[in-house]
Amino acid sequence: YFAKELSERLGFFKSLPETAKIVLVDMAFNLGVGGLLKFKNTLALIEKKQFVAAGNEMLNSAWKFQVGQRAYDLSNQLKSAL
């Protein structure tokens, strides 16, 4: 469900490496797609395939405190996307 909706809402989603897609789907599951779409800087970096910078940027949010270690795990997973 989330992958389909992200594919419809983010034109670049289909072109992402599988690892980046998994991170975005996981975040959408937690935040809802609308909540994920508020991560404008992170999504802009992901669209440019700047995954290390995007992984760092996603930690600049209250979400990091809400999900704790999971935020760091997802950040590191995104940074490893090729």
Whether pLDDT at 80 is above 90: yes
Q: What is the pTM of this model?
A: 0.94
Cα(34)–Cα(81) distance, rounded to whole angstroms? 23
How confident is the model over 14-70, as pLDDT tens digits?
A: 999 999 999 999 999 999 999 999 999 999 999 999 999 999 999 999 999 999 999
Assess whether pLDDT exceeds 90 at residue 82: no
Specify whether the CB–CB gap between 24 and 36 falls below 8 A: yes
**Cα(4)–Cα(1) distance, rounded to whole angstroms?**
5
Can you give the pLDDT at residue 38? 96
Q: How many CB atoms lie within 10 A of CB 58?
A: 25
User: How confident is the model at residue 5, as a pLDDT?
Assistant: 97
| CA gap 78, 67 in Å, rounded | 16
Summarize the confidence of residues 70-76 as an average pLDDT. 97
The CA angle 27-21-19, to the nearest 5 degrees, is 105
**CB-based contact 34:8 (threshold 8 Å):** no
